Amino acid sequence: MSRLRNYPHFERQSVFSASQSDLWTMKGFIILAFIVSVICPAVYMQDVFVYGTLKKGQPNYFRMENTSNGQAVFLARARTVEPYPLVIATKHNIPFLLNAPGTGQRVYGEIYRVDQKMLEFLDKFEGCPQFYQRTKIQLEVQDGDAEGENTLKPGSIEEAFVYRKTTYESEWLQKPTYESYDANGDHGLKYIDSDTESTPDTSSATQQNTAEPIIMRDSVYTGCGTAQCDMTNPQQ
């Protein structure tokens, strides 16, 4: 220590060198963080509740598994906190969750955690916002097989996006309601994939001009990811 006092220039030089080293280390971390953010941008995930043909074992489930559409991770089975009318309508026998809380049944479905790419795909696939409207819904978790941060506790109340109908024909409220949709159920209304049909769906559900009265329910609209949606080809 006494020797260092005899060489004050050496002591100052050592401190300066250490400060420079710390500065370069900090710059290195900043540059590395920037590179990682560009190459591997943050992935924002959203929870989506599906109740129709996108469920496991149903005609359109393969779209949830197709990674070219985006990422979808199954979290749990759940049912709506409030009852809703789940009906089957149009000539394609499509399942619709009508935005009429308090009527119908508590509807069973599945919660998936999806990335932005899959959410945008689902918006287009569901014809949102012209045909279905993507809104938030309260759900009671039943069970699941997810692990880690994706684990949802049975009995807990969760919120997720859902594609439902806020505008529909009044006669739809008179249709039978279901608590769990199955394309091959005993209702006898076999689901028809409009992608495989050569003629477009001209039913009143996909037309703006109809003689039937239309019911419009207020709902919190959260917006859809696609600028243009195909309203003639919804496949819920």
151 — pLDDT class (breaks 50, 70, 90)? confident
What pLDDT is recorded for position 181?
98
pTM flag (> 0.75): no
Instruction: Clarify whether 126 is annotated catalytic.
Output: yes
Distance in angstroms (rounded) separating the CA atoms of residues 103 and 177 = 9
Dist CA 135 CA 230 (whole Å)? 18
Q: Specify the CATH architecture of the domain 46-216.
A: Roll (3.10)
pLDDT at residue 134 is higher than 70:
yes
The token pair at 87 is 């009906």
Pick from 107, 108, 112, 99: which is nearest to 219 by CA?
A: 99
Domain range summary for the chain, segments of one domain joined by +: 46-216
Percentage of residues in the chain having pLDDT higher than 70: 62
Q: Does a cis peptide bond (omega within 30 degrees of 0) precede residue 234?
A: no
pLDDT attached to residue 163: 98
Catalytic residue, candidates 126, 147, 149, 197:
126
